[in-house]
Every structure is written in C-alpha cells, then in structure tokens.
C-alpha cells in the first residue's frame, strides 16, 4: 500500500476548516499520541465493539450495513451508489441506502436510524469534515464500526477505516501526461492556462497545484494564467474566452478542475477558432463518450473510478469477520486518453448500472 504523506494531509485538513469544501500529519506535540498509535487504538477499540456484536464471525448470516450517501446530484455520485449496491450483492451484504443530500442534520439522523435498525456497520461519505464526527461518535457509543469514503474528516480517530486520496498526486499525474503531450506534439513548448476553483482548496486547488508543478518541469512550458472557472460550463467558457482574448494565438493547452469547466474551455476554443486543447478531471456519460471517440479538443482526463469507493464494503466485511485491516485505504485518480481509456476503466459497464 502506498504510504500517505501525513504532512500534506494535515495541511489539507486545516484548509478544509478555513474554506467551504465541495465535491469530496503534521508532527504532533509529544504529549499527544502519534497518528499511527491513534489509528491502531481506533481499530482495536472498534474491533472489540464489533466482536461483542458478531463474535468476529457472521455465522452464515448476511451482514446488514447502512450507507449514508453524500448526495445524488451528479453522475459520479450516482455511479458510486450503483457500484456500492453491486459490490454489496457480490459480498452477500444487505445494504440500507440513504441520501444525506449534503445536509449534516440528515446524515446524523440517518446514522441514528442505522443504529436503531441494528446494522453491523455504517458506511458514510462525510458531508462535513467537522460536524460528521458526531455521527462517528454516536456509532462508537453504540458499538457500531464506521467506515468512510470520499471525504475528509477532521478527526479519524474513531473511524474504523476510511478511503483516502492524494489530490496533489492526482494533479501531478495529469501534469506529467500534459508534459508528454507537449513534448510529442508541440516540440516541447507550450503556454498553459488553468481553470481552478478556489472554493475547493483541498480537492480542486491541490489538483491544480500538482498539475502546474508537473507540467512546469518541462523547460518550454509557461503557465500564463490560472483563474476561477467557478466549476461551471458557462462561467468557464467566459473565463476561457477572456484568457484567449488576452493571449491571441498564444494558448496551447487548458487544464480544468472538472468536466464542466473543461467543456466550457472547449466551447470557448471552438467559438474563437483557437488551436488549444483541453485536459480536465472528468467523468460522466457525455465526457467518457467524447474521450473514447477521440474528440479533437478533449485530449485527456484525470479519471476516478466509482468502483474504488465500493471497496470499502469488503474492508468492512473483513473487519467484522475478524480479519486484519488497514485504517487507511488508498485510491488514486489516473490520467487517461482515448488510446487507453477502455483498458484502464470499465466505464461502460458502470454507466450501464444506471438502467
């Protein structure tokens, strides 16, 4: 398992507390427990509680788990839910699914309901890095282990296991792809523009930082603009048009923090007759079909696989059955283009789950 950069995670958690977080350690004083000691204490304590409920085995019975979703308002989260259901069926788990709709009070109520229903474990995507800690504390008091995915908690001490992603590393891998593209297609020279989303410094900001650092290592690359595209197609189109107007015939590649921003950049490129191309974080039926077909403007995506999040169910099952688990379950987005998309992610099967 890849080692997590705890210093970077600590910085990111501080950023979460200072700014709103959308989408989904530092060295401590000697008087405090180390991160590894806290993780072990958390796992040992939750395992003891789970053992009291299940005896460390399932006795041939189907496990029952509660799933509290972040929300269902975009395709990626819809596909995470479907992958969770598919994985639960494969593992023989009865899954009770509730949608928190990014509302902390709803998530707290859902966790209380799960506890009342006697679930063996709770799976949740924290809607608030601070407030959702109350959900974990309530479950721990009831002896129910909690497993989180696609979200950062202020304090993971009482979380039995959680998925975690290095957002900077995500962006860096996309920047490396862009550098290779520039080397092969633009003689190693390019002016690059970034459509950021400062409201999300932890996820979007760190990915933009990683991209910028990686692509800038190529001597002939200049990042000439980094602006807020507001994560929407219309706003990003307007911002991209302004960048292209200010730099006529002088922008070669855009990086956008989500597909909507990337699509806005592509629309601006078409409307202004630019030769620039687009890379972005991407998911969704439209996005994937464009890339798979070899779209002339959308050259590559930083792609997350919804199935990666569903793996937390197997971790929960293993824990309840008395197996050793890691508290941190890492996953990573990958850079894909039209040539390797289908081999890297079985996206068509995931989209078909919507039917």
Give pLDDT, residue 53: 42
- Do residues 295 and 174 both lie within one domain? yes
**Terminal Cα distance for the chain, rounded:** 35
What pLDDT shows up at residue 249?
87
pLDDT of res. 59: 64
Question: Are 310 and 299 found together in one domain?
Answer: no
User: Into how many domains does the chain fold?
Assistant: 2
* Residues of the domain holding 290: 167-303
| Phi, psi (rounded to 5 degrees) for 123 | -110, 130
Residue 91 lies in a domain: yes
Same domain, 221 and 179: yes
Among 134, 130, 129, CA closest to 151 = 129
162-185, pLDDT tens digit by residue?
A: 999 999 999 999 999 999 999 999
Q: Does residue 207 sit in the same domain as residue 319? A: no
Per-residue pLDDT, 202: 85
Domain assignment present for 58: no
Residue 50 has pLDDT above 80, yes or no: no
Please list, in sequence order, all residues whose beta carbon lies within 8 angstroms of the beta carbon of residue 162, skipping any fewer than 6 positions away.
147, 148, 149, 153, 156, 312, 327, 328, 329
Query: Mapping DSSP to helix (H, G, I), strand (E, B) and coil, where does residue 198 land?
Result: coil
| Contacts of residue 166, Cβ cutoff 8 Å, sequence gap at least 6 | 4, 5, 8, 330, 332
Q: Is residue 39 part of a domain?
A: no
Residues 202, 318, single domain; the answer is: no
Cα–Cα distances (Å) from 184 to 162, 179, 181, 264, in that order, read 39, 9, 5, 26
Query: Do residues 234 and 320 share a domain?
Result: no
36 contact partners, CB below 8 Å, separation of at least 6? none
Mean pLDDT of 59-75: 90
Query: Does 204 share its domain with 268?
Result: yes
Do 153 and 223 share a structural domain?
no
- Assess contact for 272 and 242: CB atoms under 8 A: no
Same domain, 111 and 124: yes
Q: How many helices (H) and strands (E) does the chain have?
A: 13, 12
pTM, entire model = 0.79
> pLDDT tens digits for 231-287?
999 999 999 999 999 998 899 999 999 999 999 999 999 999 999 999 999 999 999
In a domain, 48, yes or no: no
Are 214 and 293 members of one domain? yes
Question: 26: pLDDT confidence band, cut at 50, 70 and 90?
Answer: very low
298 and 310 fall within a common domain = no
Residues 223 and 209 in one domain: yes
The CATH number given to whatever domain includes residue 192 is 3.40.50.2300
Q: What is the pLDDT of residues 276-298, one digit of tens each?
A: 999 999 999 999 999 999 999 99
In a domain, residue 321? The reply is yes
Summarised one tens digit per residue, pLDDT across range 92-150 is 999 999 999 999 999 999 999 999 999 999 999 999 989 999 999 999 999 999 999 98
Helices (H), 73-130: 75-91, 104-116
């Amino acid at each position: 398992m890849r080692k997590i950069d705890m210093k970077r995670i600590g910085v990111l958690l501080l950023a979460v507390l200072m700014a709103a977080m959308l989408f989904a350690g530092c060295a401590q004083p000697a008087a405090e427990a180390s991160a590894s000691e806290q993780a072990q204490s958390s796992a040992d304590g939750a395992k003891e509680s789970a053992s009291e409920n299940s005896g460390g085995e399932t006795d041939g019975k189907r496990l029952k788990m509660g799933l509290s979703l972040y929300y269902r308002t975009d395709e990626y989260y819809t596909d995470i839910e479907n992958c969770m259901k598919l994985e639960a069926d494969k593992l023989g788990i009865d899954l009770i699914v509730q949608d928190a709709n990014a509302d902390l009070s709803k998530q707290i109520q859902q966790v209380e309901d799960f506890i009342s229903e006697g679930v063996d474990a709770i799976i949740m995507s924290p809607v608030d890095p601070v407030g959702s800690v109350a959900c974990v504390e309530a479950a721990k008091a009831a002896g129910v282990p909690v497993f989180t995915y696609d979200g950062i908690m202020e304090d993971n001490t009482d979380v039995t296991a959680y998925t975690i992603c290095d957002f900077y590393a995500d962006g860096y891998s996309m920047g490396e792809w862009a550098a290779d593209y520039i080397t092969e297609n633009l003689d190693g020279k390019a002016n690059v523009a970034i459509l950021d989303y400062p409201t999300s410094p932890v996820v979007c900001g760190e990915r933009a930082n990683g991209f910028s650092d990686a692509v800038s290592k190529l001597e002939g690359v200049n990042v000439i603009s980094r602006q807020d595209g507001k994560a929407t197609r219309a706003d990003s189109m307007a911002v991209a048009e302004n960048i292209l107007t200010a730099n006529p015939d002088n922008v070669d590649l855009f990086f956008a923090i989500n597909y909507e921003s990337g699509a806005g950049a592509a629309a601006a490129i078409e409307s202004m007759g630019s030769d620039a191309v687009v890379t972005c974080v991407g998911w969704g039926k439209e996005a994937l079909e464009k890339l798979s077909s070899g779209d002339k403007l959308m050259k590559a995506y930083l792609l997350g696989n919804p199935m990666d999040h569903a793996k937390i169910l197997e971790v929960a099952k293993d824990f309840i059955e008395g197996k050793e688990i890691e508290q941190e379950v890492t996953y990573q987005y990958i850079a894909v283009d039209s040539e390797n998309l289908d081999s890297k992610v079985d996206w068509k099967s995931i989209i078909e789950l919507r039917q």
